[in-house]
Amino acid sequence: MKRRLVSLLIVTLFGSIFSLTASAASKPPTFVSVVMDGKKIWFPDAQAFIDENGRTLVPVRFVAESLGAKVGWESKTQTVPITRDRSIYRSDD
């Protein structure tokens, strides 16, 4: 009887561990709205969201363009230069 109880307890523990892992992995990201100067920024390609680590990820192109900057792509160096008012910011800086 004692052996059966221990076996049942072990099976229950393993089952609960796997169900918690599966539910955490299948949790969809939380989408957020981005508002700048009182206006909501629209993202046509990808939406801003909070990932599983609690970090807020926002597509930088649309935020930079809303600030009046130009965003490019340099394939040779695989960098994203962002230019505004003759200042250049690169993704590798």
Return the bridge partners of 43, or none: none
3-state SS, 13-55, equals HHHHHHHHHHHHHCCCCEECCCEECCEECCCCCCCCEECCCCC
* Confidence band of 13 (pLDDT split at 50, 70, 90): low
pTM value is: 0.52
Higher pLDDT pick, 81 / 87: 81
Q: CA-to-CA distance for 81 and 69, rounded, in angstroms?
A: 10
Distances (CA, A) of 60 to 10, 15, 23, 66, 82: 48, 41, 30, 10, 10
